[in-house]
Structure 1
Amino acid sequence: MVTLDTIANQALQKLGVQGISSLEEDTEVAKDCRLALPSVIGSLLRRYSWGFAETVQIVPRINWEDNGTYKFRFPSGFISLLHTERDWEVLGEYIYTSNDQPIRLKYIRYVEDPRRWDHLFRECVVLKLAVTLCDRLVQSESKKAFLSQELKSALEEAKEQERSGRDNQPWQWG
């Protein structure tokens, strides 16, 4: 079973650093991994439209603004907006539109459980975590450059795989 501990240990292995028993252990390495993982996951989810993280949700309006627009709050776990059925504007953590009906959003949500991740996304998280930790744990510019290139290649492969899978299927509301 893949866990965040597994992901952290795979990244540490790529760095040539001793693994950890758990992200919760009281060591500097575990603390570094624990602090870095959420932003690594979030930034990779935001960077591309990963199919496993896509979801559709109907969002009710929360109130009417004096300027004639309606205000809607992004759903919990929201990372980035892919599509909505109407014209809208994003300001801060809200969506504004002139229509008072609930909005159907297609968006990328935060998925922390690595068992739900695509295998290529998992590899990208491992590599990005290794790159993120490299300066602190091994101070090797050559290793960081090598891992950065591996990450770039993994992202390109993931995008190509996703694109080829989607080219054969017309987009529809889920």
Structure 2
Amino acid sequence: MSSVTSICNLALSNIGKKLISDINEQSTEAKTCKLHFDLARDTMLQGYEWEFAKSIVDLAEVANTRADRWERTYTRPTNCLKPIRIVPEVYVSDDIEVPYAATEGFIFCNQSPAKLEFIRRFEDPSRLPPLFQDALSWALAAKIAIPLTSDQSTRKDAYQIATSTLEAAKVADANENYSTWAENSALINARG
């Protein structure tokens, strides 16, 4: 089962450093991994619309602070790393987009009630797909290479491998989901 420590150990192994027993131990390796792990994970999650990290939630409406532009103001979920879209009240097709703005911890739009589809902070490493874990270990390796090795070449190599493993993870993730909503909707409309 994967854990933060096991992913950190992959990263440490990737750059030829000593493995750790626990992320909270007092070694330089553990402290460096702990410093960079959350940001490396969240950066990877925010940078792509990962199927495994998507979530939909009803937004909580608050006092409108932008009434000059938007009819409604909602609190942005605390675990929201990347808003994807406001889910339309009635599904017609994937092409229907509800305008919104996400800033200052709020989501602004003209729809009420509103549901937000977003990329969430995914804190349980045991549920991360294997290719994402591999890409994350290389991204973390690129971040910790200089503090732990002072070797630009090691960092450069880790960054290049991180880039290629990230692309492989994206391809695998994109192949995880296939939606026939649009096709079925077009067929139903053609019958009518």
- TM-score normalised by length of structure 1: 0.90
Q: Aligned ranges for residues 1-174 of structure 1 at < 5 Å?
A: 1-65=1-65, 66-67=67-68, 69-84=71-86, 85=88, 86-99=98-111, 101-166=112-177, 168-170=178-180
Alpha-carbon deviation of 1:51? 1.3
Aligned equivalents of 2:148 and 2:81: distance in 1?
29
Moved more, 138-147 or 125-134: 138-147
Cα deviation digits, residues 70-102 of structure 1 (max 9, x gap): 210111211001111332222221111234x22
SS of match in other structure, 1:169 = coil
Query: 1:118–1:144: structure 2 CA closer, same or farther, 3 Å change rule?
Result: same
Preserved CA contact (<8 Å) 2:141 2:158: yes
What amino acid is aligned across from residue 174 of structure 2 in structure 1? R
Which residue of 1 is the match for residue 94 of structure 2?
none
Cα deviation digits, residues 98-150 of structure 1 (max 9, x gap): 34x22111100001111111111111110011000000111222222211111
Aligned equivalents of 2:110 and 2:85: distance in 1?
17
Preserved CA contact (<8 Å) 2:83 2:119: yes
Q: Find the structure with the greater CA-based Rg.
A: 2
Alpha-carbon deviation of 1:171? 5.8
- TM-score normalised by length of structure 2: 0.82
Compute the RMSD of aligned alpha carbons.
1.7
Structure 2 unaligned runs (5+)?
A: 89-97, 183-192
Aligned equivalents of 1:17 and 1:119: distance in 2?
22
Aligned equivalents of 1:34 and 1:171: distance in 2?
42
Moved more, 80-89 or 12-21: 80-89
SS of match in other structure, 2:49 = coil
Aligned equivalents of 1:82 and 1:89: distance in 2?
11
Runs of 4+ deviating beyond 4 Å: none
Alpha-carbon deviation of 1:69? 2.8
